[in-house]
Amino acid sequence: MQCPFCKTPDTRVVDSRLAEDGTQVRRRRECEKCGGRFTTFERAQLTMPNIVKRSGDPEPFREDKLREGIGHAIYKRPVSPEMVDHAIDSVMRKLRGTGEREVPSRQVGEWVMEELRDLDHVAYVRFASIYRAFEDVNAFREEIERLQAQPSAAERKSQLPLLEAETTTRRRGKNG
């Protein structure tokens, strides 16, 4: 890697460690010519599917657009940047997990709403009002009633171990 100070083409790695929960490698580098030290971060570059808009036109996935949409929904709400990063990572994992070259924008919107439902109910309703193009107050009321009828994030998380144990039991029964 080129030294940012003197532009020497080669630098040496002094230290490497995992960062960001193991999704990045942090490297301390040193230029042998000028002695300057700097840090680089390495992250796997994974191909994201195109997003098919409602018009039918595909466009490349843009993380900044996803972040902006979530940002508008959480504006002046008690949601930390770490929580937003986690939500964005979750949506991007789901996108990559489809294995498809194109994913409908409607599906991405549903995933964002799932994440916002767990982060902040006001942000969820804000996003839903734009995403689902609410026409009147009754549409807001219906969405809020639907939100209240669903189990909370804590309730859903407490249910997951039961589902995993049930799936494991079924597998053992078929194999054993």
Sequence ranges of the domains in the chain: 12-43, 50-153
Q: What is the mean pLDDT of residues 55-73?
A: 94
Does residue 127 surpass a pLDDT of 60?
A: yes
So what's the pLDDT on residue 160? 57
Mean pLDDT of 3-24: 91
The answer, yes or no, to whether residue 149 has pLDDT greater than 70, is yes
Give me 144's structure tokens: 């809020």
3-class secondary structure per residue, the chain: CCCCCCCCCCCEEEEEEEECCCCEEEEEEECCCCCCEEEEEEECCCCCCEEECCCCCEEECCHHHHHHHHHHHHCCCCCCHHHHHHHHHHHHHHHHHCCCCEEEHHHHHHHHHHHHHHHCHHHHHHHHHHHCCCCCHHHHHHHHHHHHHCCCHHHHHHHHHHHHHHHHHHHHHHHC
Judged against a pLDDT cut of 50, whether residue 138 lies above it is answered with: yes
pTM of the model: 0.58
Distances (CA, A) of 117 to 3, 20, 57, 65, 103: 45, 24, 28, 19, 21
What Rg do the C-alpha atoms of the chain give, in angstroms? 22
84-111 pLDDT, tens digit per residue, is 999 999 999 999 999 899 999 999 999 9
Q: Give the pLDDT score at 150.
A: 78
| Residue 157 burial (CB count, 10 A) | 11
Decide: 122 and 147 in contact? Cβ < 8 Å. no
